[in-house]
Structure 1
Amino acid sequence: MPHTILIAEDDQDITTLVKLYLESSGYRVLCAPDGATALDLARTESIDMAVLDIMMPRMNGYELTRELRAISNMPILILSAKNTDNDKILGLELGADDYLTKPFNPLEIIARVKANLRRFYQLNPTSPVLPGSNVLLLGPLRLDLDAMSLTKNGAPISLTPTEYKILSCLMRAPGRIFTKVQLYEAVSGTYFESDENTMMVHISKLRDKIEDDPRHPCFIKTVRGLGYKIEAVETN
């Protein structure tokens, strides 16, 4: 399953060029012409890495970096014409992992994307596995996306199609908070206010299956007032 890269850039020519090279390297690419649109995509899509410009309308790259870091630990590469040391330091202090100045060699972007993703997965072994595999790993949980099957410490766990979709969505982005609306839209593509309690029931049943103590869940955590997230724990 290819990694998804988010490009936030208001220069259409640069967006087209970077998108072409990333897709040629096997990545799935989502594009946003401004920071606000990019943040909306990050909240609704499973993003593995972001490539951001600084000077964008509606929300600049510095603000976007701060907002992204609040909801995700994904690698962030700033791509900007601002090339002073202070610009670079500010971007890195706000949470960016890398900084590349314009003009740039597209091949260097590919190399940096690969290096940042490789480093991220080495430091986050509980995150989804590297490309070439259709299996998501989280502590003792192993979700096979091809077989739509789940095991915990090697023991099979039966899931309904809806439970599988919810767990798949959560396991693709460990630590990320998903609202009930986002989870329901990921499952069915639509959402109505009456669906909120239905999602709570699905989460409850999923906890019954994967948690050692569903009343005190270790994997699927409720984030009060926001939604749900999944975390890795080691169990015997």
Structure 2
Amino acid sequence: MVKILIAEDNAEIAMLEKDYLEISGFETEIVADGSKVVNMILEGGYDLLILDLMLPGCSGYDICREIRDQTEIPILMVTAKTQSIDKIRGLGLGADDYIAKPFDPAELVARVKSHLNRYHRLTNAYSRTAEESAIQIGNLKIMTRSWKVYRDGQEIKFPNREFELLKFLAMNPNIVFSKDQLFEKIWGHEYVGDSATVTVHINRIREKIEDDPSKPRMIETVWGAGYRINL
């Protein structure tokens, strides 16, 4: 059974999320102390994290940053913060989605299912026994089936959206794609968001693969057109 951790200090909201998710067939556990979340995720075998940003003990931003360095499970942020900068910050730290309070519990369940389905499709595809293929771009090596990225021989952790975006650009080198094209290709029609999400993820990828992210050479911005990866 799919196991979900709900990190939420508002007992009423946490129980609402728990009830709707368990009715939909998910196993859930609630934690209200932010300082416990990271260890629970790394040791508890969870498939997805629903993360409130304003937790006692440790902020959701810090939790997201630490988790993303060690695992690729989907992270869905739930928060009362509604400003764009909060959303961008959360996505920039590796969150997969963002939903603002108050929210429709049915929408939360739908988003959870969407992210789990996508994550499982990706991990199943990359774990097949078919021959591994690699894309080499300078000092970067992208293993398309095992979902691994190496820079100068050292593995770099990539959450699923970042990996999909990097892989897509790498498989279509020297071609310019607009933000709208990349958003549709990687996030799809079911995602509630906009193409600004692409910029956040491009910047996060650059921080991992570029020698100088402020002057990117591998993933180039073509002003007024979009992005391309250079071979």
Under TM normalisation by the shorter chain, which class is it? 0.5 to 0.7
Amino acid at match of 2:23: S
Q: Pairwise mapping of residues 12-51 of structure 1 onto structure 2 (< 5 A)? A: 12-51=11-50
Query: Deviation above 2 Å: which 4+ runs of structure 1?
Result: none
1:80 corresponds to which residue? 79
Contact kept, 8 Å, 1:31 with 1:38, in 2: the verdict is no
| Structure 1 Cα separation of the partners of residues 20 and 70 of structure 2 | 27
| 3-state SS, counterpart of residue 125 of structure 1 | helix
How many angstroms apart in 2 are the aligned matches of 1:119 and 1:34? Answer: 29
Name the residue aligned to 2:111: 112
Structure 2-normalised TM-score?
0.54
Find the counterpart in structure 2 of residue 98 from structure 1.
97
User: Secondary structure at the residue paired with 2:49?
Assistant: strand
Distance 2:125 2:7 in 1: 27
Asked if the contact 1:36–1:59 (Cα under 8 Å) also holds between the matched residues in 2, the reply is yes
TM-score (norm 1): 0.53
Alpha-carbon distance in 1 for matches of 2:42, 2:115: 21
Query: By how many angstroms is 1:63 displaced?
Result: 0.6
- 2: distance between equivalents of 1:36 and 1:7? 14
User: Identical aligned pairs, as a percentage?
Assistant: 41
Offset, 1:30:
1.4
Greater CA radius of gyration, 1 or 2? 1
- The 3 A distance-change label for structure 1 pair 41 and 105 is same
**Mapped partners of 1:115, 1:7: distance in 2:** 17
Tell me the residue number matched to 1:67.
Answer: 66
Counterpart-to-counterpart distance in 2, 1:99 and 1:59 = 18
Structural mapping, 1:171-186, within 5 Å = none
Aligned-CA RMSD value: 1.9
Amino acid at match of 1:33: A
SS at structure 2 position matched to 1:52: strand
CA positional deviation for 1:118: 1.1
Can you give the 5+ residue segments of structure 1 that lack an aligned partner in the other structure? 128-137, 141-173, 176-236
**1:122 Cα deviation after fit:** 2.1
Contact 1:8 1:51 in 2 (8 A): yes
| 1:19-41 deviations in Å (ceiling 9; x for gaps) | 01101100010111022111121
Residue deviations 1:121-172, cap 9 Å, x none? 2222257xxxxxxxxxx444xxxxxxxxxxxxxxxxxxxxxxxxxxxxxxxx
Aligned length: 132
Matched with 1:89 is 88
Unaligned runs of 5+ in 2: 130-146, 149-231
Distance 1:45 1:126, change over 3 A: farther
1:98 partner letter: D
Give per-residue Cα distances to partners, 1:77-104, cap 9 Å, x unaligned: 0000000000000000000000000000
Deviation at 1:56, TM superposition (A): 0.5
Structure 2 distance, partners of 1:38, 1:22, is: 19
Equivalent residues in 2 for 1:70-219 (5 A)? 70-125=69-124, 138-140=127-129
Matches within 5 A, 1:6-17: 6-17=5-16
In 2, are the aligned partners of 1:79 and 1:100 still within 8 Å (CA)? Answer: yes
CA shift in 2, pair 1:126/1:34, >3 Å: farther
